[in-house]
Structure 1
Amino acid sequence: MDISLICRLFETLPRQGPGNDESTARAFALIPELPENPEILDVGCGSGMQTLALAQLCPDARITAVDVHRPVLDALEERAAAAGVADRIKTICASMDDLPFENHSFDLIWAEGSIFIIGFEKGLSYWKQFLKDGGYMAVSESAWFTAAPSAEAKAFWAEIYPAIRTEAEYTAVIADCGLDLVGSFRLPEAAWWDDYYRPLETRLEEFAAEHAGDAGAMELVEMTKKEIAVYRAHAAEYGYVFFVMRK
């Protein structure tokens, strides 16, 4: 699949994956304490709804927002300026598997709906070097809510993300990576629909019109429609889980 097509489809959405401000706040509330003027790294920030939410939740934080796609960072900078927090948010265009930071640079590493790109275990193992001792990491990741998913859901995930695990399996990975689980919770279905799937459904129609006759674009449209349909039918079987950990 053409990565540039995927970027063009998703870059104008309010979010590039499931999530909402309420879930961001709930995950942040699981962190017992942060030092004064904490350094926060938002990995795979996309258009940065959670970045702005973190800036409001932690008014004395300095936030470094990283994404590989420059247009979403430009959009984040504009929104940060409009919200009056541009002086506390710095954007960097970089890959999440090749971060340009010194070890022990951050008090909190945040990754909403992005760790699947690098993989759960690899992401935790690689990113934790950038955490200060006692620092926290908060990530959301897709998970099975059942040990016996339906054939349709199982076939869909085998195609798009075969590394999906159960919550218990993720908990074991967290321990193997040398992190302590502080808490976890499942994202509500509203976190999928309100700021992600419903805007995406509208965007799909626009995107199809913009790229009429492009076979690759039409394949992406159909794949995305299938993803939405599978979630609509099987939301009880899987979803996103927020994990908050401490180094």
Structure 2
Amino acid sequence: MLTDLSAQPEILDIGCGAGMQTVEVARVCPGCRITAVDVHQPFLDDLARNAASAGVGDRIVPLRASMDDLPFPDGSFDVLWAEGSIFIVGFREGLASWKRLLRPGGYLCLTEAAWFTDTPSPEAAAFWNECYPAITTVRENRAIAESAGYEVAATFPLPKSAWWENYYVQVLKRIEDLRSNFAGNPDAETQIEFAEREIAIYREHADEYGYEFFILRKGT
């Protein structure tokens, strides 16, 4: 899909976390240089260690920075990568504020939670209205991207395994230990109850929502 990139593209991973995806991008794009930003220094330390272990540490530069105040000149990057992070600033807001960082013809690749139906069930709608009321349909997100001046090159849903095997199964493995370790801690118990509710909603309504991957291209 991104076959028109230069041989040595400059990539910015926004909200990289511990950088599992950063390392993978570096593996599949051997000529790239990736600047990976996050506000949490321990995540960046983990990324540096993981990148070194994977043999790609020379092409990844971790940098502590906020995604709503990115310290780079206009037109610095060929690709912006934002996997599971744009919701922090908002889909519309991120598209607008990050666009200046792209070179003409550059790509913004991101994931965003989205409805896969126009008529979500009351249970799923109540949950998402509580935790992320800005969620909308893939169709509406495409329209928002186009109104922000991007060409929608492609969109596709992430597989359910991205939610279930890669995330919820791991959470379920830890919940009982967390419950016993933090018994009597109201804040921790509230977080555990929320995680259990989230998993229960997904079990029943996984066909109604998910993460959609968007590949957006800035005009030349």
TM > 0.5 fold call: yes
Paired AA for residue 212 in structure 1: A
| Equivalent residue for 1:110, pick from 81, 85, 88 | 81
Deviation at 1:66, TM superposition (A): 0.9
Counterpart residue number, 1:55: 26
- Unaligned ranges ≥5, structure 1: 1-29
Counterpart residue number, 2:129: 158
Paired AA for residue 168 in structure 1: R
Q: Distance in 2 between matches of 1:67 and 1:223?
A: 25
TM-score where L is the length of structure 2: 0.96
Counterpart residue number, 1:36: 7
Deviation at 1:212, TM superposition (A): 2.7
Q: Distance in 2 between matches of 1:222 and 1:89?
A: 37
Q: Secondary structure at the match of 1:239?
A: strand
Deviation at 1:214, TM superposition (A): 1.4
* Cα displacement string for residues 71-117 of structure 1 (whole angstroms, at most 9, x for unaligned residues): 11111111101001111001111111011111110000001111111
Counterpart residue number, 2:35: 64
- 2:105 matched to 1:134? yes
Paired AA for residue 195 in structure 1: N
- 2:116 matched to 1:145? yes
| Equivalent residue for 1:96, pick from 35, 57, 67 | 67
With 199-208 and 82-91 compared, the bigger mean Cα shift is at 199-208
| Equivalent residue for 1:193, pick from 164, 184, 192 | 164
Q: Is the 8 A contact 1:31 1:244 kept in 2?
A: no
Deviation at 1:213, TM superposition (A): 1.9
Deviation at 1:36, TM superposition (A): 1.7
- Unaligned ranges ≥5, structure 2: none
TM-score where L is the length of structure 1: 0.86
Q: Distance in 2 between matches of 1:181 and 1:214?
A: 46
Query: Which of the pair has the greater relative contact order for Cα pairs under 8 Å at 6+ separation?
Result: 1
Say what the alpha-carbon RMSD is for the aligned residues.
Answer: 1.1
Deviation at 1:153, TM superposition (A): 0.2
Q: Is the 8 A contact 1:31 1:182 kept in 2?
A: no
Counterpart residue number, 2:212: 241
From the CA coordinates, give the structure whose radius of gyration is larger.
2
Counterpart residue number, 1:17: none
Deviation at 1:221, TM superposition (A): 1.1
Counterpart residue number, 1:79: 50
Q: Distance in 1 between matches of 2:67 and 2:96?
A: 12
Counterpart residue number, 2:152: 181
Aligned length: 218
Q: Secondary structure at the match of 1:132?
A: strand
Q: Distance in 2 between matches of 1:225 and 1:44?
A: 25
Q: Distance in 1 between matches of 2:194 and 2:143?
A: 32
Counterpart residue number, 2:201: 230
Q: Distance in 1 between matches of 2:192 and 2:99?
A: 36
Counterpart residue number, 1:206: 177
Q: Secondary structure at the match of 1:34?
A: coil
| Equivalent residue for 1:218, pick from 186, 189, 204 | 189
